[in-house]
Structure 1
């Protein structure tokens, strides 16, 4: 492993740790409050996603034009500023919008820098390392953030600020590579990039597949809070985090298996993982005890990890050879977060209408399965081919 790849792994680990620690700090804030309504947690997720959508047209070209280590630095500092605003009692919805803005800027640079550090043959392997280390960070961020927030929300927020700043400093170790991309972009430039990218069947499938995955993952994450409280009797953020850990462990396992099971040339195989994801989500809705729920969450995570790693690698390589890897990731972020906003928004609406959580979760799983089947039917049958670079 090169020094640059190791530095990226460390920076991503710290940043993802902070992302999840701050999320569970805010979940603890809501669960401890007698004034905030039940729809507040999905609303927080929605404003975070909204930042991605609003910045999608500019984040990718910005990452492609500027040295990506500087873009990563800026993203971390914005996230730290959002955590600071929550700490000083600014409205959490507004502060979380700033955290989302930092994440939206950070994401295209995080994935877009990979083709600059390694060749195409190593992309799936490096992606599995990135996803694996990210999920470990998510796991620890959830556990440590929730445990700390249950004791002191202020201390949990201070920790997240320190993590974002440390991640920002580590990014300075990365090489400074600058490309002659567009410095000034318009919405029409972004639309033209989308048309160009969607003209490639594999790129189109990858975008739609990733959108499905992230939409399902986002709504499952917020559903678990209400489902765990009602069905399993969970009473605090730590209980929710401990259940979600099994999802994270599953994604780690799936991410490690993905390069072996599904190299980019065999991308069609990912459809089976998508089918399993939807079926298991429906099954989870009807679990009534802790250990069966944990095992099902583990299996959902494995299916998700096997599914998303090859898709991410494919998108990065297609983008690197066409519109720029940062722009490709920004297009992915736009569609994925639009899907997440719709899915979480619909769940927020169902929660406000007092739809039973078991019904909401089983319907969501069924929709995931049906959309996966529809997308798979349009997947090109020819093997994916890349040019050397």
Structure 2
């Protein structure tokens, strides 16, 4: 069997992923070709500007409405039905929908166009839970981030292609004919590609299905509420991104016209920059994540979004454009006018930040959601996404029309709100910020290589045991783990003023000497047992102290006591390269070197509970030490 790295490199060409990717790509193009063509036709058919705005808002509302009405049913159906078959049915229905759409484009009958937009929304509603919930069934846990990055980048490239194609061709003499042919061909191609998606068994075949809109919607939110807080806040974070994205895309034409002074080609260029930068950010996120779900990148993405939204809102500081006449500037003129190029850089920064922000969140939802409710959780996410997109329209109307704010002021408000929402999420789920701290530490001070991280179980309880070299050992083990680990920490260090907040955020378990504080000692073991009973990972350093000479000391019997009470597997880990660092007892306090210190994290195979002996565990860790001298990859 090929290793994970081989799978990673061939993911886009594999039969288990490529057909789904192509199906989603064609769907996104088709949606946007048709929607954009309809919007242009509605605006041109309108007798007045007000009529054009009314028709545009009706079309946008009709596309979103099915997400409120049918997401509950879609989530339930995706849960109890074999997914590849359901995708084929959904894609087959796209063909007659597009036949109606083609007729509406050719006849330019307004209400037929609006009806088609609504039916497209219905089709997207039922496709949404399928395309995300099917991924964990066909890709390995180590591939989830890359799979989501490819889906996310492909979707935004498809949105860009569809928008530009629809905008350009619908205005040509043979435009309606070209658009009609295109949407039909894309629908057929999407259906054909869907036939190659591998079989994906139903997660919950015995789930009771209901046609009641309210009870089905309640059911998917009940499934969401039953998940961990990290999943719930990830859904909130994704929905917030869609609010920001909807406002930016809606405001982009007016921003370009009134702030940058650019014409229609500049608007298209701004759309290209924003969409492609999200695609680039998504792919970069996968590279920076090193083929794992790296939550530490999420706060980094939030920081980039906040920073570049703020910079984009500061028009006097980044723009020297002063309109001398009513003529709008061409793209060439805009790029030559003062610091106007910075506008595009700020847009690209927001897009890249968005890629960093959303990809790990989607992957986390897929990984940590219970398999029997994954489709319903994604359906609940779709409902919230739609709600936040409606909220984006309300926020834009209130600020721009009621309060008469400028678009720059709205962007500044978004920057502030994004900061507040991010702080709220990271306060409720400290794991995000903790991973960010660990990620920065690993990047700025060390070069970390891991081997055997797949030995850490993706679910279920286990105890991680490791040699103790430095005060930051736990951070490097956490960085190698796909899941949170609760470490036992010596109480005086846990309660130290400088570190208490960090250990509390990591949900560490303080332990004191049995002789000095027997009550705290007993409480620590009780908390470990409780954590293992809940299926969590617990990390301990059986030496009970930092090494004083770089060697591995005797393992104490506390690990045997833990396993006797909670018989779970034990995973041995060896840390190398930290002896002599500033956080070890042999600290080398010196100026930073150009060459980063190499830290190795070697993870061994799980040891069954009935085989756990302290002395044997030490031998397992010593055996892993040899991997550091050879170089861990």
Q: Which range, TM-score by smaller chain?
A: 0.7 to 0.9
Alignment match of 1:254 (pick from 262, 281, 289): 281
Partner of 2:224: 197
**C-alpha contact 1:255 1:309 (8 A) present in aligned 2:** yes
Partner of 1:170: 193
What does 1:1-389 align with in structure 2 at a 5 Å threshold?
A: 1-33=13-45, 34-35=47-48, 36-38=51-53, 40-76=55-91, 77-78=93-94, 80=98, 83-84=101-102, 86-87=104-105, 88=107, 89-91=109-111, 92-151=113-172, 153-154=175-176, 155-179=178-202, 180-182=205-207, 184-185=209-210, 186=212, 187-188=214-215, 190-199=217-226, 200-233=228-261, 236=264, 239-262=266-289, 266-287=294-315, 288=319, 291-319=341-369, 321-350=370-399, 352-353=401-402, 355-381=405-431, 386-387=458-459
Identify if the C-alpha distance between structure 1 residues 280 and 56 changes in structure 2 by more than 3 Å, giving closer, same or farther.
Answer: same
Greater CA deviation, 28-37 or 324-333? 28-37
Identify if the C-alpha distance between structure 1 residues 233 and 39 changes in structure 2 by more than 3 Å, giving closer, same or farther.
Answer: farther
For residues 60-97 of structure 1, what are the alpha-carbon distances to aligned partners after superposition, in whole Å with 9 as ceiling and x for unaligned? 11122223234334444346256336414233444322
Q: Give the SS at the match of 1:387.
A: coil
For residues 280-326 of structure 1, what are the alpha-carbon distances to aligned partners after superposition, in whole Å with 9 as ceiling and x for unaligned? 2233234445532222211111000111111111111223x344332
**C-alpha contact 2:293 2:360 (8 A) present in aligned 1:** no
**C-alpha contact 2:166 2:179 (8 A) present in aligned 1:** yes
Paired residues, what number? Answer: 386
Identify if the C-alpha distance between structure 1 residues 348 and 81 changes in structure 2 by more than 3 Å, giving closer, same or farther.
Answer: farther
- Counting helix residues as a fraction of each chain, which structure ranks higher? 1
Partner of 2:530: none
Identify if the C-alpha distance between structure 1 residues 99 and 193 changes in structure 2 by more than 3 Å, giving closer, same or farther.
Answer: closer
Identify if the C-alpha distance between structure 1 residues 295 and 192 changes in structure 2 by more than 3 Å, giving closer, same or farther.
Answer: same
**C-alpha contact 1:275 1:373 (8 A) present in aligned 2:** no
Measure how far apart 1:336 and its partner are.
1.4
Write out the 4+ residue segments of structure 1 that deviate beyond 6 Å after TM superposition: 382-385
The runs of 5 or more residues in structure 2 that have no matched partner are: 1-12, 320-333, 335-339, 436-455, 461-633
Identify if the C-alpha distance between structure 1 residues 316 and 83 changes in structure 2 by more than 3 Å, giving closer, same or farther.
Answer: farther
**C-alpha contact 2:148 2:362 (8 A) present in aligned 1:** yes
Identify if the C-alpha distance between structure 1 residues 85 and 380 changes in structure 2 by more than 3 Å, giving closer, same or farther.
Answer: farther
Greater CA deviation, 123-132 or 347-356? 347-356
**C-alpha contact 2:43 2:55 (8 A) present in aligned 1:** no
- Counting strand residues as a fraction of each chain, which structure ranks higher? 2
- Aligned Cα root-mean-square deviation (Å): 2.8
For residues 246-297 of structure 1, what are the alpha-carbon distances to aligned partners after superposition, in whole Å with 9 as ceiling and x for unaligned? 1111112111121233465541430221232133223323444553222221
Q: Which has the higher contact order (CA 8 A, sep 6+)?
A: 1
For residues 169-219 of structure 1, what are the alpha-carbon distances to aligned partners after superposition, in whole Å with 9 as ceiling and x for unaligned? 210111233411525135445435424433411111211111111111112
Q: Give the SS at the match of 2:199.
A: coil
Identify if the C-alpha distance between structure 1 residues 266 and 193 changes in structure 2 by more than 3 Å, giving closer, same or farther.
Answer: same
**C-alpha contact 1:216 1:343 (8 A) present in aligned 2:** yes
Whole-Å separation in 1 of the counterparts to 2:54 and 2:417: 22
TM-score scaled by length of structure 2: 0.56
Identify if the C-alpha distance between structure 1 residues 265 and 132 changes in structure 2 by more than 3 Å, giving closer, same or farther.
Answer: closer
**C-alpha contact 1:316 1:328 (8 A) present in aligned 2:** no
Greater CA deviation, 176-185 or 371-380? 176-185
Whole-Å separation in 2 of the counterparts to 1:349 and 1:40: 19
Measure how far apart 1:43 and its partner are.
4.6
Identify if the C-alpha distance between structure 1 residues 345 and 278 changes in structure 2 by more than 3 Å, giving closer, same or farther.
Answer: same
Identify if the C-alpha distance between structure 1 residues 102 and 240 changes in structure 2 by more than 3 Å, giving closer, same or farther.
Answer: farther
**C-alpha contact 1:264 1:313 (8 A) present in aligned 2:** no
Q: Give the SS at the match of 2:430.
A: coil
Measure how far apart 1:363 and its partner are.
2.4
Q: Give the SS at the match of 1:151.
A: coil
Q: Give the SS at the match of 1:203.
A: helix
Greater CA deviation, 19-28 or 112-121? 19-28
Q: Give the SS at the match of 2:270.
A: helix
**C-alpha contact 1:202 1:380 (8 A) present in aligned 2:** no
Greater CA deviation, 337-346 or 290-299? 290-299
